[in-house]
Chains A and B, each alone.
Chain A
């Protein structure tokens, strides 16, 4: 980011705050979908608190609603979340303290908290990630509970254009962060791979395949 605000959890929360309404209302939408899918009231909330990853939860709930198998639901969700394995290894060096502490802090990793905690050169700041995650977590879980118990109180978040908030955030960060020539090439390659695979590969695969672009960077030290 261009602004030189000191990296603190508070700054991380501030950076991701524009997404809080979108995260909360998609949490509501997930709660509504999960109840309609016959998941009951407790399971969707537990899932939001443990899985804490939007797209995978929507995918799993859709498979359950359509009467799909456990394998199909888990497979779809795991494929969507596999990118977190790559991200978690990439950001590992910045975590400090006991194993337990690192474990709990790592659970605050979601696309949005990772994106806003970038400090350039592929590195993130742990405090920014924690602050952003700590703001998004209650939005997502609280939104889910609201959707489960209150139903469709907010209407479709797409009517308010909230689904555009996510690509907008990622794009703004991409533009601000991508300065080196190699990074620009990687961004175009990743975007192109995702676009080509979108219509043909199962959800999640386009993003993982795009992430594999970084393996091209292995050769040059």
Chain B
């Protein structure tokens, strides 16, 4: 098997297993109360980490670029109670404009 297909097979197997583990092995059962309390914090902590890595993440580096303009625009849009779609489109447009103007 070529390197490519080996990578495709192994990464696929791991990822499928990660995603399936909970629903297939524990599906439908309530988690212990202590764990539920902990998992309540998973969404905010993971979402915040995803914001950080996607907004300023580079190749093992912090990269400040046009994405920040988009994220700032999204914050303003949310504060103005704009719908989700408006906030996201505004973020993309602001980033595109920033890049067009400063590059």
Q: Which residues of A contact B (CB under 8 A)?
A: 1, 15, 17-19, 22, 38-40, 43, 46-47, 50-53, 56-57, 60, 64, 70, 73-74, 77-78, 81-93, 95-96, 99, 102-103, 105-107, 109, 111, 115, 118, 121-122, 158-178, 182-184, 186-191, 193-195, 198-203, 206-207, 209-211, 213-218, 220-221
Give A15 to B16 CA distance when docked, in angstroms.
24
Output the nearest chain A residue to B13 by Cβ-Cβ distance: A50
Contact of B91 among A51, A93, A105, A165 (CB under 8 A): A165
6 additional contacts (CB under 8 A) given A39-B8, A183-B43: A70-B7, A106-B22, A122-B43, A186-B45, A191-B48, A199-B62
Q: Which residues of B contact A (CB under 8 A)?
A: 3-8, 10-12, 14-16, 18-31, 33-57, 59-62, 66-67, 69-71, 73-75, 77-78, 84-85, 87-89, 91-100
Are B39 and A122 within 8 A (Cβ)? yes
Contact of A102 among B23, B40, B48, B94 (CB under 8 A): B23
Q: How many A-B residue contacts, CB cutoff 8 Å? A: 324
Contact of B48 among A203, A210, A218 (CB under 8 A): A210
Are B89 and A18 within 8 A (Cβ)? yes
Are B23 and A15 within 8 A (Cβ)? no
Contact of B15 among A51, A103, A178, A183 (CB under 8 A): A51
Given A122-B36, A199-B60, the answer on whether A207 and B23 have CB atoms closer than 8 Å is no
Given A103-B23, A163-B95, the answer on whether A43 and B41 have CB atoms closer than 8 Å is no
| Chain B residues with CB below 8 A from A206, complex form | 49, 52-53, 57
Distance (whole angstroms) from the CB of B53 to the closest CB of chain A: 6
Output the nearest chain A residue to B45 by Cβ-Cβ distance: A190
| Chain B residues with CB below 8 A from A115, complex form | 47, 50
Are A167 and B29 within 8 A (Cβ)? no
Give A188 to B49 CA distance when docked, in angstroms.
9
Given A17-B85, A122-B40, the answer on whether A96 and B28 have CB atoms closer than 8 Å is yes
Given A84-B18, A160-B92, A166-B54, the answer on whether A106 and B62 have CB atoms closer than 8 Å is no
Q: Which 8 A-B pairs give the minimum distances between C-beta atoms?
A: A164-B70, A190-B45, A161-B95, A210-B49, A122-B40, A92-B22, A161-B96, A168-B91
Are B56 and A195 within 8 A (Cβ)? yes
Given A88-B20, A161-B70, the answer on whether A210 and B92 have CB atoms closer than 8 Å is no
Are B75 and A163 within 8 A (Cβ)? no
Give A128 to B15 CA distance when docked, in angstroms.
21
Contact of A43 among B5, B24, B35, B62 (CB under 8 A): B5
Give A161 to B99 CA distance when docked, in angstroms.
8
Contact of B44 among A64, A77, A88, A183 (CB under 8 A): A183
